[in-house]
Amino acid sequence: MLQGTIAIASGKGGTGKTTLAVNLAVACEEPVSLLDCDVEAPNAHLFLRPVWEKTVPATVPVPVFDPEKCTGCGKCRVHCRFNAVVLLNKRPEVYPELCHSCGACLQACPHAAIKEVPRETGVVAIGYSGKVRVVQGKLNVGEAQSPPVIEAVRQQAGKEKLTLIDAPPGTSCPVMAAVRGVDYLVLVTEPTPFGLNDLQLAVEMAAALQIPCGVLINRAGLGDSPVRQFCRAQGLPVLGEIKYDPRVAAIYSIGELPVRTLPEFRTQLAAFLTRLAKEVTLCSRLPSFPEKGEQARLRW
């Protein structure tokens, strides 16, 4: 039985990451928690159609200045690495969108003239679709920083034995916020030159974060890029393949799930699930962090 926290990611968008996440959540026999951490464009709900039970704001702390205590010394501005604080007529002003909530200005202020207040940057919704507990984050329009909302989504993980994380595409900061500290990382790729190039970047990210990972090849048979050769050279397990099938795209385009209607898809997904469970169990027996990450890299 598959247990733990499993993140599903890809080096680029459009490889089938969300398709795998939602179909896998439905295919699992036990209750599962699915965290949609693609907070700039969440879409798992389009296929699972959960009944939303509650929403909670995602907030970040930003500084507010007490004009009675502030002397305009400017130390807050000097210590702000992100240029979020400026002085206008010796009075500090904050650009909240630039603030990273690091707290440096609070520490630098010699007069205790700064306090932090929460500022909402997104919203987290929690609901159910059958046995699947769905948690979805959505970044507010105009906000530039998605990691705080992603972290708010992860904080809402339930008590289910299995948690699946649908990560944002790519290998930038939002992805790292979504996958950091998970038990295992599934990298979805496709047999194309672009797929191989971005898979290489994703593998580098996993190694840097010391997360054991394996590869699922989606749309297998569509191209001839040497993805399997790369995985063999790196010692990466290929957890399975999903054959290219236009019917999958047709079913997906109307918001339905191929795991419910295509026997061939169910067979391929079941084989992947079995292999994934074995890999996760194997990695769980490795020494704990940080040795676990070192062992995983050696195994690659």
Domains of the chain, with CATH numbers? 4-30+161-299 (3.40.50.300), 60-119 (3.30.70.20)
Say what the pTM is. 0.89
pLDDT exceeds 90 at position 225? no
Contact 135/33 with Cβ under 8 angstroms?
Answer: yes
- Tokens describing residue 29: 């026999």
Contact 21/166 with Cβ under 8 angstroms?
Answer: yes
In this predicted structure, what is the pLDDT of residue 284?
A: 78
Q: Which residue has the higher pLDDT, 288 or 16?
A: 16
In this predicted structure, what is the pLDDT of residue 287?
A: 61
The secondary structure element, H or E, covering residue 125 is strand 114-129
Q: Which one-letter DSSP state was computed for residue 260?
A: G
pLDDT band at 299 (very low <50, low <70, confident <90, very high): very low
Q: Which of 53, 172, 65, 45 is nearest to 109 (CA)?
A: 65
Query: What is the residue type of 158?
Result: G
In this predicted structure, what is the pLDDT of residue 294?
A: 42
Average pLDDT over residues 228-254: 92
3-class SS of residue 135:
strand
pLDDT exceeds 70 at position 236? yes
Place of tokens 């919203």: 123
In this predicted structure, what is the pLDDT of residue 80?
A: 94
User: pLDDT digit string (tens) for 46-72?
Assistant: 999 999 999 999 999 999 999 999 999
